[in-house]
Amino acid sequence: MTDGPTYGFDTLQIHAGAKPDPATGARQTPIYQTTAYVFRDADHAAALFNLQEVGFIYSRLTNPTVAVLQERIATLEGGVGAVCCSSGHAAQIMALFPLMGPGKNIIASTRLYGGTVTQFSQTIKRFGWSCKFVDFDDVEAVKAAVDDDTRAIFGEAIANPGGYIMDVRSIADVADEAGVPLIIDNTTATPYLCRPIEHGATLVVHSTTKYLTGNGTVTGGCIVDSGKFDWSANDKFPSLSQPEPAYHGLKFHETFGPLAFTFHGIAIGLRDLGMTMNPQAAHYTLMGTETLSLRMERHVENATKIAQWLEKDSRVDYVTYAGLESSPYFERVKTVCPKGAGGLFTFAVKGGYDSCVKLVNALEIFSHVANLGDTRSLIIHSASTTHRQLSAEQQVAAGAGANVVRVSIGTEDANDLIADLDQALTKATS
């Protein structure tokens, strides 16, 4: 559905990438639960393995159910291609894999999901990579952090946990000047609220586990390629611009043009890292995308109403929701996320750590889980869970201080959610 008429988001989230099954006429995309695919003949097999023909070889690399999801997410994000994988964390490593090498670094926002901070500050060191964390509201500091070994800049469109809105265009300008890609984690915003490629992002990553699936059933990740970056403009990205020994000297950018990163992600990334999305997970996520716009509208509506209520409550110190007029990011929402500031934010409870724990334990509708983006409303005390591995200073910088709880507002009746918070706050602060 990418050729021909220009369809609206609500149509594309249902139809993009999908056609009735040619064998049975099944209207919903089937779960192709198979490990391998029969080749037409020896020449067909050789062409597939030599990247001379596109098709299905082995489900670690490609699968028809996953392929539909890849095309759908790429279409919704305005990219040329996408690679789905096993989790959001896998997507981040997959995105960096073709770009990095020993001694190379990335620049990342200080306002990131705690697991991402740990992955970038600790785990990637084992690959010989490093990360510089910078406050992305200070564009000059981002510029100053760039050096000859920088290979990417990474941020979240709507930061987890605080719901802070990133000025994607300003950071994209820094990345363009440095000749490196900007990678945006769009998990919390989804392409319904924000399309980072339109603001200058090179790559977009998702934890499809969250809003894209929307029902808390399966994990998954995705990397979307804008197709707009010139991988051969300099010698910084040899994996994409130079001969690939595993394919008899094939040059990915020269051969595949705008789809170079996507093909590399499948032919090298999935082949060698094996971070594969299973077809059942893809099926659940496909069904989730069909209602994405409807759910995001309700998430935003509920989050706005609840944040406004919390901000007026004397038991609450502050609320970080960017959809509030009091937020320093309120004006930025209008350009980065014109359809709303999402459903994720934090608030500080008077009484600090102990009151936060009591609040979490007293809630009845909100579920205490380490997830977000569900139709159910969720809560977690980040400092003792998702951001526990960080120092106190890192927790505060990430918006996850000891006196703060994170809420992911679901699609229930907003008045019921307010009543639940009301009774829990009474118990937490009495």
Residue 5 pLDDT exceeds 70: no
135 & 205 share domain:
yes
Of all residues in the chain, the percent with pLDDT exceeding 90 is: 90
Q: At what angle do helices 292-312 and 414-429 cross, to 10 degrees?
A: 40
105 & 205 share domain:
yes
Please state the domain count of the chain.
2
Domain harbouring 38, CATH code: 3.40.640.10
243 & 326 share domain:
no
Mean pLDDT score, 264-276: 97
Give the number of other Cβ atoms within 10 Å of residue 11's Cβ: 12
Residue 41 near residue 55 (C-beta atoms within 8 A): no
Domain assignment present for residue 4? The answer is no
Residue 190 near residue 219 (C-beta atoms within 8 A): no
163 & 121 share domain:
yes
Residues 6+ apart with CB under 8 A from 221: 84, 85, 86, 87, 88, 89, 90, 91, 92, 94, 205, 206, 207, 208, 209, 275, 277
Residues constituting the chain: 430
Domain assignment present for residue 3? The answer is no
29-65 pLDDT, tens digit each: 999 999 999 999 999 999 999 999 999 999 999 999 9
Question: From CA 279, how far away is CA 72, in angstroms rounded?
Answer: 15
Question: From CA 112, how far away is CA 138, in angstroms rounded?
Answer: 15
DSSP class of 250: B
What phi, psi does 8 have (nearest 5°)?
A: -80, 165
303 & 394 share domain:
yes
- Helix (H) or strand (E) segment spanning residue 225: strand 221-225
261 & 318 share domain:
no
Domain of residue 38, residue span: 9-288
Mean pLDDT score, 317-345: 97
Give the number of other Cβ atoms within 10 Å of residue 103's Cβ: 9
Q: Which two tokens stand for residue 321?
A: 């929701």
What phi, psi does 138 have (nearest 5°)?
A: -105, 85
Average of per-residue pLDDT values in the chain:
95
Mean pLDDT score, 196-211: 98
Domain harbouring 413, CATH code: 3.90.1150.10
Question: From CA 396, how far away is CA 93, in angstroms rounded?
Answer: 25
Which pTM value belongs to this model? 0.95
Residue 217 near residue 223 (C-beta atoms within 8 A): no
Q: Which of 208, 170, 171, 175 is nearest to 77 (CA)?
A: 208
Question: From CA 243, how far away is CA 248, in angstroms rounded?
Answer: 8
Residue 399 near residue 159 (C-beta atoms within 8 A): yes
150-187 pLDDT, tens digit each: 999 999 999 998 899 999 999 999 999 999 999 999 99
